[in-house]
Structure formats: C-alpha cells, structure tokens
Amino acid sequence: MTAPKTLYDKIWDAHLVHEADDGTCLLYIDRHLVHEVTSPQAFEGLRMAGRKVRAPDKTIAVPDHNVPTTPDRLQGIKNPESRIQVEALDRNAREFGVHYYPVDDVRQGIVHIVGPEQGWTLPGMTVVCGDSHTATHGAFGALAHGIGTSEVEHVLATQTLIQKKSKNMKVEITGSLPPGVTAKDITLSVIGRTGTAGGTGYVIEYCGQAIRELSMEGRMTVCNMAIEGGARAGLIAPDEKTFDYVKGRPHAPKAAQWEAALAWWKTLKSDDDAHWDKIITIAAEDIAPVVTWGTSPEDVLPISGAVPAPESFSGGKVEAVRRALDYMGLTPGQKLTEIEIDTVFIGSCTNGRIEDLRAAAAILKGHKIRDGLRAMVVPGSGLVRAQAEEEGLAQIFIDAGFEWRLAGCSMCLAMNPDQLSPGERCAATSNRNFEGRQGRGGRTHLMSPAMAAAAAITGRLTDVRELMREPA
Amino acid sequence: MEKFTTLSGVAAPMPLVNIDTDMIIPKQFLKTIQRTGLGKNLFDEMRYGADGTEIPEFVLNQPAYRKAEILIAGDNFGCGSSREHAPWALLDFGIRCVISTSFADIFYNNCFKNGILPITLPREQIDILMEDARKGENARIEIDLESQTVTSADGQSFHFEIDPFRKHCLLNGLDDIALTLEKVSAIDAFESREAQSRPWV
Ligand code: SF4
C-alpha cells in the first residue's frame, strides 16, 4: 500500500526526474508557455551560452502584454519599446523553432487563454510560464505556476525546473452559489478570507459542490487568482466537464491515445484520506457579489458594504490601508454603491473567456452605458472574439456603448496603449488592483463581469442582483 | 552570478506591508530586453513625482540611504507578478539583501537567481532591525551567509534559516542551468520512459 496522496502529490510524483538528499527536486515540465515580456533575456542567455531549446515542441509562444487592441496594430506597433519586445519574440520563436501564434493569427490572445483553447493544457501536466497567472491552467488538474526569467531560461535549456515541494491546502466551497454570484466572487472571497499571503508555501486544491458546478471557464477564473492569495498554484481535479472541454481541441490526444490519456486522467484526484496541511471551508450561500475597495486583492467586501476605517485593522496593515484610501480617493464609511466610476474594463486572463462575455452581455442587453463613461471589452483571444461575434454578443456590447477590441492583456496592466489616467476610476474584471497597475494614479475596483456590466449601466459600483431580470 | 558571502552595509527601512512588484518596478519599465539599467527606476512611482523630480520623503532619496545595500521591509514583500525585473532593479540599484518577516514565493525564488539574499526573520527581530535602519548611515548591518547571521549595529546577532542548496549556490555564485545539465542523463531517461507511458504529452 502506498500512502494516500493529494492530487498535487500525484502530479508531482509523476514528474520527478531527480531528488537530492536535501529534498531539492528536478521536476519535468510538460508545457512551457512564453510571452514577450519575461522571455527576451532568457533567449539571450541561451544564445550567449550556445544552448538550444531542449523541447521546442513543448514550448508555445504568443505576444499578449504589449500588443495594442485596436485594428491598426496590424500596421505595426507604434510604441518603439513594445515593438522591439514583440519583434524579439518573433525572432526568438522562429530561431529556436517553438510553436508560435503571431499578432496577426486569429488564435493569438492572452497566453493563459490560448493554452487551454488550443489543447496544450491537459490534465496531469506540469505547465509553467514566466507569468504569475499561470495558475489559471490548474483548472484542468494540471500543476501550473509562474516562474521568473532565469527559470524560463532554465526550462528552455533543460525542460526541467529545480523545485522544493509545497504544502497542501484544501479550499472547499460547499453548496451551490446563489444567483448573481460567480467564480470571480468565490476567488476574491477566498483571498479576502486568507489574505494575500495566506497561501504562501502552499498549493491549493479547490473542491466542493460549488466548484464542481462551475464551467471550465469559471474554474479557470478561480485558479487564475490562486496567486493573489499567495499560493504557488491552484488545482481542481479533472472530471467529465474537463474531458468534454479538452476533447477535440487541436493539440489534445486523439483516438487510442485519447483513451489511454483518459484512463490516467480519471485517476487524478486526491485520495479520501490524503493529508492536508490546511483546510478552509466556505459555504457558497455565504458568498455575495464582491468588489475590492483598496490596492491589494485582499481588500474585498460584499457590494452591500462600506469603505472600512484604517483603525479597524492591525499591525502594518493600518498604514497600508491609510495609504490605499488616500490613493483610491475614498473615505471610511462611504457606501460602496455610492462610488462613481469613469471606466469599465471587461477582459484579462481572469475574465476574458466566452462565458464571461456572455455573463456581461446578459446584463447589458437592451441597456446603454452611463453617459460619459468609457467602456471596453477585450476578448481573451481572437477565437473568443470570433465566437462572441457569432453569438451576437459583440453587437450587444457595441449597442450598449462599449468599444469592441482585439485580443490582448489590454488594460489589465498598463504596458500597451490601454491605460487609466491619474485619478481615473475603473470597474475591472482583471486580477490586480495594485497602485498604478492600470496606469499611473489609476484606481481599480476588481469584480466579476456581471458586476462590471452593472456598473457600466449605472455609472457607480452596483449590486448586479438589482439589475437581474426574471428569465423570460 | 555574483557570489554572496558577507555584506556590511546601510539598511533602508521600508515598513509598508505588501510591497508588490508593481511598486518595485512599474510595468512601463518591463519593456527592456536587457537585465541591467533598471536601478534608476526602482520604486519609480514612490520615488519620483509625475514630473520626474525626486520625492524627498521617499527613503531611498534621503542622503543616508542613497547607497543602501540592504532593505528592511514589511510583511509579504515582493507579492504580485513573476517579473524578475524586480530583483534586477534592486540589484542594479545596489541592494544585495532584503530582510522581512515574509516574502512572496516567486519573488523569493527570483532573488536567488540573481545573487540577492532574501532573509526571513521573526517580527521582534525585524522590529529591532527596522529601528536600527532608521538611524541611517550610522547603523551598518552585517550579514554573514556562511554562518547564517545578521548582526545589528549594536552587536545583536540573529540566526536565519536558508535552504542548503540555495545557500551553496549563492556562496559559490553557481549557475543553475550548468548544475542541472550535469543530470542530463536522468532527464533523457525520464523522457524515454514518458514517451512510452504518456505519449500524448
Ligand atoms: S491579462 Fe493581465 S494578468 Fe493576465 S497575463 Fe495579461 S497582464 Fe497578466
């Protein structure tokens, strides 16, 4: 009898190449995703050392952070530094022979949306990328996490990573989500509960009925923000929904290989008596639509709440909250629903998938955005964009007054032309509300796509449940 | 990578909690394709006003700390993105060691790849070092990696924990890739096993 294992233990063991006496491990990497911002120095390092990419077939590159999301990008990127970075990726991808989706390819998009969409991300795999939101891929029951540029170079050269094992944490969401409450509210609520350092040293497995009931898109939203909770990775055990999503994707296994893969994937779950170093249980019925009020993703409150006072916190957080409120231009006691916004951003690797656009469009249908508001939708990939156009969602956004953009990271982080100006306040479906994240002096409130759509209609932070109509 | 053995230097106090990588090096500076030159933009939005002039109150703009080599930081330092530009910017500025009660995982890893020593100490000891750091140039803090000690200006010594493999690499300035390539036969063997058992990968 082998000792009972968690899903994380199982994937880890299946990828162990070498273990040193002190517990330092060499882990094999099945998929390496690469984007233009964190890879140039790594490829340059390879070149200087005369090394090759060990497994170009397992390496997938796509530009996303820097690319403008307006149609004129096909005439070339105007910002010279952005252009140089994207051109460097072009050159590196071709020279080292890795899979590549250039800007003018309909499959281009945010790396964490492209990977699953193309069937590169599969259950039981190890997936890394020089990007912290690699955690997204954990939704498939893959061990997926962000790495730094030196590690990118290490994986390119060796297809392995030097790792120490993390601890196991179980986050169980029991029961079913109430109407108007989404995957984004789950993941933000968990961070609100544990804090941004609560997951440090852990790999989280999300489980429970509410997680099972989520679509693959929703599960990706949950795992995406595992990193905001400080965890190395987030995982969800694969099930029929996972297999259905994967089946038929361009790089998913076919025929006999599909059967063999499926047989293994079905074993990928934590054993009943596996050991957990930490367990958190939250009842889905206790989760409300939430927004962030501060400059850390842990600054979360239900939309019915009010801006807290710095004195209600302890330790170093008091000063941090004082600074955050000053930055955000908010006063303690102010009701969250009274906060007026200037901009709405729907997109990012957290909420740029088809289901997210459907959820936002369902609220917007037949409405106009508040006068004077700037609102944009940025699909996570060219394929999501095409599908949304086919389903008529694009037209709903356009009719409501949204800009309908091309795929990229866009206003999730201000590395491309989509930015907030100082003091501009944004309802955003992305994952970080750090100072300056969406542009210097920009003020970010994180929320779900449905909540962002509601805010677009009223021009202030709004409880989406007030706008939800009876089904026809 | 430069070796790290001992360091004696001025420490800058940054008690703010959750200092994230966007604060350490804002995204507009991630467009470089090089590792060097980021020091002038370290903590850019905290350090300079919108017109580019220095904000005098910011710790690294104060005369005593302009050449700081150590940071004493609040909890959860380096949270946020995986950008290695954060340690590159610290290093380029001249910071070789960051001391805090806790670090975000990826940032912590990235430090070791660049010859920066992140030290985790309990709160009471951080409080003492923070007070020490507030004394500016008069208080040099000593770090000895071999013996795993931090010594404050008035001679109080604290022991810190560090993973033996990482310590070994830092002390000797070793390149991870070269070390891993010594195990290339194990990687080859793994790949041929996998080609049999999980051919779809
Ligand atoms: S969408 Fe945002 S969080 Fe996601 S990869 Fe792009 S910049 Fe990072």
C-alpha to C-alpha distance for B40 and B89, rounded to whole angstroms:
8
Contact between A190 and A229 under an 8 Å Cβ cutoff? The reply is yes
Answer with the residue of higher pLDDT: A253 or B178.
A253
Tokens of B70: 């150590």
Instruction: State both tokens at B174.
Output: 């070793």
Angstrom distance (rounded) from CA A38 to CA A46: 14
pLDDT band, very low/low/confident/very high, at B175 (cuts 50, 70, 90): confident
pLDDT digit string, tens, across residues A375-424: 999 999 999 999 999 999 999 999 999 999 999 999 999 889 999 999 99
Taking 60 as the threshold, does the pLDDT of residue A471 lie above it? no
Beta-carbon contacts of A438 under 8 Å, excluding residues fewer than 6 positions away, are: A345, A411, A412, A413, A414, A419, A420, A426, A428, A430, A444
R_g (Cα) of chain B, nearest Å:
19
CA distance B90 to chain A (A): 15
d(CA A305, CA B38): 41
Dist CA A1 CA A267 (whole Å)? 16
| pLDDT value at B36 more than 80 | yes
Q: Is A311 exposed, middle or buried (0-12, 13-18, 19+ CB in 10 A)?
A: exposed
Cβ of A440 within 8 Å of Cβ of B26? The answer is: yes
Rounded to 5 degrees, φ, ψ at A27 are -110, 135
Q: Find chain B residues with C-beta within 8 A of A200's C-beta.
A: 76, 102-105
A140: left (phi over 0), alpha (psi -120 to 50) or beta: alpha
The answer to whether residue A435 scores a pLDDT higher than 50 is yes
- Which pLDDT value is given to residue A44? 93
Nearest-angstrom CA–CA distance, B158 and B174? 26
Distance (angstroms) between ligand 1 centre and the Cα of A349 equals: 6
What is the average pLDDT value for chain A, to the nearest integer? 96
Reply yes or no on whether the pLDDT at B139 is more than 90. no
Mean of pLDDT over chain B: 95
- For residue B27, the chain A residues in CB contact (below 8 A) are 413-415, 436-437
Whole-number Å distance, alpha carbon A410 to ligand 1 midpoint, is: 8
If you measure from the C-alpha of residue A311 to the centroid of ligand 1, how many angstroms do you get, rounded to a whole number?
A: 33
pLDDT for B158: 98
pLDDT of residue A468: 86
Q: What is the pLDDT of residue A120?
A: 98
Q: What six digits make up the tokens of A188? A: 């933000």
Which is the closest atom of ligand 1 to the Cα of A111?
A: 5
- Distance, in Å, from the CA atom of A71 to the CA atom of A88, rounded to the nearest integer, reads 21
| pLDDT bucket at A469, cuts 50 / 70 / 90 | low
* Pocket of ligand 1, beta carbon within 6 A: A 64-65, 110, 112, 131, 133, 348-349, 409, 412-413, 430-431
Question: What is the DSSP secondary-structure string of A270-299?
Answer: --TT---SEEEEEEGGG---EEE-SSSTT-
Pocket test for ligand 1, best of A430, A434, A438 (most atoms within 8 A of CB): A430
**Does the pLDDT at position A300 exceed 60?**
yes
- pLDDT tens digits, one per residue of A153-186: 999 999 999 999 999 999 999 999 999 999 999 9
Instruction: Please say if the pLDDT value at position A470 is more than 60.
Output: no
Residue A262 is encoded by which pair of tokens? 């499926």
In whole angstroms, give the CA distance from residue A206 to residue B179.
Answer: 35
Q: Which amino acid is at A255?
A: A
Q: How far from the centroid of its chain's Cα atoms is residue B26's Cα?
A: 16
ipTM of the complex: 0.91
Distances (CA, A) of B57 to B51, B61, B62, B64, B126: 16, 7, 7, 12, 22
Task: Report chain B's terminal Cα–Cα distance, integer Å.
Answer: 34
Per-residue pLDDT, averaged over A285-306, amounts to 97
**Which tokens belong to B82?**
């995986």
Residue A443 CA to its chain's centroid (Å): 20
pLDDT of A361 reads 98
Give B-chain residues touching A41 at CB under 8 angstroms. 33-35, 84
Query: What is the per-residue pLDDT across B102-126, written as a single tens digit (0 to 9) for each?
Result: 999 999 999 999 999 999 999 999 9
Work out whether strand A59-61 and strand A31-34 pair parallel, antiparallel, or are unpaired.
parallel
**Which residues of chain B lie closer than 8 angstroms to A414, CB-CB?**
27-28
The structure's pTM equals: 0.93
Q: Is the pLDDT of residue A472 over 80?
A: no
Q: Alpha-carbon distance B161 to B150, whole Å?
A: 11
Smallest Cβ distance to B105: which of A44, A200, A432?
A200
| DSSP bridge pairs for A404 | A377
Which tokens in the block code for residue A375? 């609102």
Q: Is A98 helix (H, G, I), strand (E, B) or coil?
A: coil
Q: What is the mean pLDDT of residues A32-43?
A: 97
pLDDT greater than 70 at residue A1: no
CA pair distance B164, A264, nearest whole angstrom: 36
| Beta bridge pairs of residue A274 | none
Which of B80, B104, B186 has the CB atom closest to A17's CB atom? B186
Domain B6-197, what architecture? Alpha-Beta Barrel (3.20)
Q: What is the pLDDT of residues A215-260, one digit of tens each?
A: 999 999 999 999 999 999 999 999 999 999 999 999 999 999 999 9
As a whole number, mean pLDDT of residues B69-75 equals: 96
- Domain assignments of chain B as residue spans, ordered by start: 6-197
